[in-house]
Amino acid sequence: MFYYTYVLKSLKDLKLYIGWTVDLQERVDKHNKGLVEATKARIPFELVYYEACLSKENAIKREKYFKTGFGRRFLKGRI
């Protein structure tokens, strides 16, 4: 089983959203259908980056890292 850390880009405001999930496709679909309270005003989204982790703890650590200045710089170089 994998845990995914993912980065979405809003096509409305071009800002990034970072999260983690067990089912990546289902989670992206929920974001785009407006079913996620934190992002429903910013739809539509495109998936621009993701990583698969073997543990939930590692996926959450990556999510927290991506939300730091260093993590955002890393993402800018990857996206």
pLDDT in tens, 26-71: 999 999 999 999 999 999 999 999 999 999 999 999 999 999 999 9
The domain of 71 spans: 3-78
What pTM was computed for the model?
A: 0.92
Q: How many domains does the chain have?
A: 1
Buried b (16+ CB within 10 A) or exposed e, 12-21: eeeebbbbbb
Report the C-alpha gap between 60 and 65 in whole angstroms: 9
Q: Which helix (H) or strand (E) holds 3?
A: strand 3-10
CATH of the domain at 16: 3.40.1440.10
